[in-house]
């Protein structure tokens, strides 16, 4: 695992970049991504064409270099920062975040290949300027917490149950200054009146858990940002079953892992802010005691909800979590993160996380944080028209799904807004960006850190 960059050369071959249109030695092969090695100088050059012209294109090159497994290289940060579209900070961010990403020790029951570990290629970073050391330490803390979220994401659902995750978080987050953890069990959840969470949990073999992680980094301020995460450890759809289409449903707890590790990173960075994470944990299973469609349940807020679709369970558990954030934690800003709607994937694909905000200034702050973190986000509309179908129930204040809603992602955002108690609200739908190819990405951890980092 990388610990920082080197200010002095080591014995490894130094890797520099030769970019199309810039001047460099004629001995360098002008083939995109080809590496020319000069053994007499212990220097290598990777040639990049102009098709690489922004940070995200450069990330693909970084991934290529990391996974090339050709030899140990020391990366010349100064050389790469000469690319016309990158700063030193961006070059460091790209290499460090991706090196930690690929080096992460994630859950696996596979037998380890000792020869593969023995022959592992190592990369190091070279930059003579010492002024970026603190920046790199910050990146490492955030990146390691992205890995923490990814580890929870990939852990199989027969292991990562609501009860197991709450125990794991208590141990993993112990002994961090100004950070406290409270785990609410089923009895405490019932006393709070979290009827929606209990309704989703009713078919489960495991008790629900609400894990509350609080960091008080600015005791003089009354401002508090609360992150609420959807934590469906496996989603069968309930009685509105998904049928055979359940691949990847262990990732339905991604939101809770992301908000938890964002707060851990914030605490480790000692950011001057008051932040909390609320993990709403349960699976959505089928059982004789499970909630059936058309049931009416009273939420923690007191509002009644007709559960018209048991597969729209995410907004149910989040609703109780959001109200808890406003009423009990006294949030001044609530941000939820959830793999919420399939409609979001159809709208934004696997490229952008969909963001909703009740105020323009809250969106602007979030977008600025995402830009710093280099994470792709896109704002979608919160409008009262999208709430009409939520209020169409004949037997309850709200319904959790209505087939007449043709923009379900927007309707879901408006449903959640019903439980904010008029607190400023940002909703993040990461249905398309949370995972891919069987792997979790820990998306938005970095953005959530930057959102409260006022330095």
Q: What is the CATH number of the domain that holds 295?
A: 3.40.630.10
Q: Is 357 inside a domain boundary?
A: yes
Choose the final residue of a domain: 85, 115, 130: 130
8-59 pLDDT tens trace:
999 999 999 999 999 888 899 999 999 999 999 999 999 999 999 999 999 9
418-445 pLDDT tens trace:
999 999 999 999 999 999 999 999 999 9
CA 258 to centroid of chain Cα atoms: 4
111 vs 305 pLDDT, higher one: 305
3-class state of residue 188 by DSSP: helix
Check whether residue 300 and residue 191 sit in a common domain.
Answer: yes
Check whether residue 28 and residue 167 sit in a common domain.
Answer: no
Domain span at 37? 5-106+123-130
Q: Is 150 inside a domain boundary?
A: no
Q: How far apart are CA 426 and CA 415, in angstroms?
A: 13
Alpha carbon distance, N-terminus to C-terminus of the chain: 27
157-187 pLDDT tens trace:
999 999 999 999 999 999 999 999 999 999 9
Q: ∠ CA 424-455-446 to the nearest 5 degrees?
A: 65
Q: What is the mean pLDDT of residues 93-97?
A: 97
Per the CB < 8 A criterion, the answer to whether 373 and 450 are in contact is: yes
Given 16, 93, 186, 315, the catalytic residue: 315
Reading phi first (left if > 0) and then psi (alpha if -120 to 50, else beta), residue 326 is in: alpha
Assign 286 a pLDDT band (cuts: 50, 70, 90): very high
Q: What is the pLDDT of residue 112?
A: 81
pLDDT at 114 over 80: no
Check whether residue 319 and residue 427 sit in a common domain.
Answer: yes
226-262 pLDDT tens trace:
999 999 999 999 999 998 889 999 999 999 999 999 9
Q: Is 352 inside a domain boundary?
A: yes
CATH of residue 95's domain is 3.40.220
Per the CB < 8 A criterion, the answer to whether 18 and 42 are in contact is: no
Q: 296 φ, ψ to 5°? A: -115, 130
Q: What is the pLDDT of residue 106?
A: 97
Q: 426: which strand partners?
A: 335, 357
Assign 119 a pLDDT band (cuts: 50, 70, 90): low
Averaged confidence pLDDT in the chain: 96
Check whether residue 366 and residue 446 sit in a common domain.
Answer: yes
Given 242, 272, 376, 379, the catalytic residue: 242
Q: What is the pLDDT of residue 408?
A: 96
Q: Is 116 inside a domain boundary?
A: no
357 Cβ contact list (under 8 Å, min separation 6): 363, 366, 379, 382, 425, 426, 427
Q: Is 47 inside a domain boundary?
A: yes
Q: What is the pLDDT of residue 115?
A: 63
- What is the tally of structural domains in the chain? 2
Q: 213: which strand partners?
A: 181, 277
Q: Is 59 inside a domain boundary?
A: yes
Check whether residue 196 and residue 68 sit in a common domain.
Answer: no
Q: Is 142 inside a domain boundary?
A: no
Residue 242 annotated among the catalytic residues of the structure: yes
184-219 pLDDT tens trace:
999 999 999 999 999 999 999 999 999 999 999 999
């Amino acid at each position: 695992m990388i610990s920082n960059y080197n200010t002095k050369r080591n014995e490894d071959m130094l890797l520099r970049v030769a970019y199309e249109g810039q001047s460099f030695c004629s001995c360098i092969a002008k083939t995109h991504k080809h590496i020319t090695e000069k053994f007499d100088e212990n220097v290598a050059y990777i040639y990049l064409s102009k098709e690489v012209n922004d940070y995200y294109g450069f990330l693909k090159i970084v991934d290529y270099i990391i996974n090339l497994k050709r030899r140990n290289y020391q990366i010349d940060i100064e050389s790469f920062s000469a690319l016309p579209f990158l700063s030193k900070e961006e070059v460091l961010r790209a290499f460090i975040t991706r090196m930690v990403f690929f080096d992460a020790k994630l859950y696996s029951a596979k037998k380890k290949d000792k020869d593969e570990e023995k022959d592992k290629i190592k990369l190091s970073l070279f930059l003579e300027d010492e002024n970026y050391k603190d920046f790199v330490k910050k990146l490492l803390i955030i990146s390691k917490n992205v890995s923490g979220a990814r580890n929870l994401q990939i852990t199989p659902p027969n292991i990562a149950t609501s009860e197991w995750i709450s125990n794991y978080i208590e141990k993993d987050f112990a002994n961090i200054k100004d950070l406290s953890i409270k785990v609410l069990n089923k009895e405490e959840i019932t006393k709070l009146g979290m009827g929606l969470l209990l309704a989703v949990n009713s078919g489960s073999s495991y008790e629900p858990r609400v894990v509350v992680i609080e960091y008080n980094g600015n005791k003089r301020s009354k401002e508090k940002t609360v992150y609420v995460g959807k934590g469906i450890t496996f989603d069968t759809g309930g009685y509105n079953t998904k049928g055979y289409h359940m691949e990847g449903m262990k990732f339905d707890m991604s939101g809770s892992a992301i908000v938890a590790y964002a707060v851990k990173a914030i605490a480790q960075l000692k950011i001057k802010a008051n932040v909390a994470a609320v993990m709403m944990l349960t699976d959505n299973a089928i059982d004789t005691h499970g909630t059936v469609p058309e049931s009416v349940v009273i939420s923690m807020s007191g509002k009644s909800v007709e559960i018209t679709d048991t597969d729209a369970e995410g907004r149910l558990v989040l609703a109780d979590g959001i109200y808890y954030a406003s009423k009990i934690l006294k949030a001044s800003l609530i941000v939820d993160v959830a793999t919420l709607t399939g409609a979001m994937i159809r709208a934004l694909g696997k490229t952008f996380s969909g963001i909703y905000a009740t105020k323009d200034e809250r969106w602007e702050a979030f977008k600025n944080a995402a830009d710093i973190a280099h994470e792709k986000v896109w704002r979608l509309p919160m409008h009262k028209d999208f709430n009409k179908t939520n209020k169409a129930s004949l037997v309850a204040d709200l319904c959790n799904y209505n087939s007449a809603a043709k923009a379900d992602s927007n309707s879901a955002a408006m449903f959640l807004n019903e439980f904010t108690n008029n607190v400023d609200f940002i909703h993040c739908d990461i249905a398309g960006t949370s995972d891919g190819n069987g792997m979790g990405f820990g998306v938005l951890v970095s953005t959530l850190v930057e959102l409260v980092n006022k330095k």
